[in-house]
Structure 1
Amino acid sequence: MASTAASVSWSCSSWLHSRHLGKHNGETTRVSDRSSVMVIVAQKKAKKTRKIILKEDVVDLGKKGQLLDVKAGFYRNYLFPMGKAQIVTPVLLKEMRMEEERIEAEKKRVKEEAQQLALIFETVGAFKVKRKGGKGKLIFGSVTAQDLVDIIKAQLQREVDKRIVSLPEIRETGEYIAELKLHPEVTARLVPDLTLCWDMWQRQIGSPQKGDRMTRQGYDKVCITSKVTRAL
């Protein structure tokens, strides 16, 4: 026990001696003190994010189908419980690419069909519209988009929505251009042929007298077709 105490006492005195004072040749000298300095750098905790796809429009965030990186907590506490988004996985990315390719192929098909229909309009010739003629160049009634749609259906057996037909007001003879917006990038332009018809009163003897009844059998229909034009 005495030996252990002596050893500890010697170690402590030796440490104090080497740290503070040293004697050399009878003189007291200062022992240099070299201490190590440890630098600790605190790094900020990386924010966790999630790559998600929106399942519907979210105000101030994005549109349906948009890929975004959002905070994990925002996804966990709001987007996911509300059914507004889902995590993007490799399988989902593959499905999205396939869907995009399908949509692009469908867009291409629709555009090609519109181009083919426009070509038909350009080569079919005349779209004849019959109207009863009035005085001079005037006609009775007018020619409407619905009239043109009906004529296209009768001549080509094609259904065309009248909402895509742009037609100026036609109330007299002349050249008019109708536009059919078949596709955002395809517009067909055509000129309707206006056929005027007059009902001519005919009697075998003399001229019409006051009080005579004009019956359907008393008319001959005379029609004149304007200059034949075709789609531009």
Structure 2
Amino acid sequence: MNIILLERIEKLGDIGDVVNVKNGFARNFLLPQNKALLANAANKARFEAEREHIEARNAAKREEARVAGENIDGASYTLIRQSSDTGFLYGSVSARDISEHAKTLGHDIARNQVDLNQPIKKIGLYEVKIRLHAEVVITISVNIARSEDEAERQVAGENVIEATLEASRAEADAQAQEMARASREAAAQRGDVDEEL
């Protein structure tokens, strides 16, 4: 289906471009959201008559998004979640979770503005793009951790999962050595082993 774009759409085109898209994409998204018109003679004439108004409206929205983005660009959000010892979350962090957390901090980010290809499923630091307008994209930092202390350690550059696993290994080694020592002492007391061991 051929359509005329009324705003810039990433990977599709700019305002006024006539592009061919799948019928479902046009009928279910572009046309109902007033992002495009069917590319017929009447709509082409209508678009050319209103082109200046459409471009001015887009420029105003872009400037509004740019101003709003200045306060949010580079922001860092910390989300505390439960996870396994290997760092995999019990559940995941989605665009909705990031949007809701941003709103609690006074940043107005809609769920559909969070550019997250797939949910976050592991503890760590993530750079997430926020698309405030088709031409205004900012980046925020999302810190997924099990506690505030872990979040601070991650920001400092520590790999908390590796540190936790290393501490667990050291504790297991210490327990194994203690058990071996206790076993040798018990055997020595029974007389099964020479005291030299």
In the superposition, the TM-score normalised over structure 1's length comes to: 0.42
Greater share of strand: 1
Higher relative contact order (CA 8 A, sep 6+): 2
Greater share of helix: 2
Larger Rg: 1
In the superposition, the TM-score normalised over structure 2's length comes to: 0.49
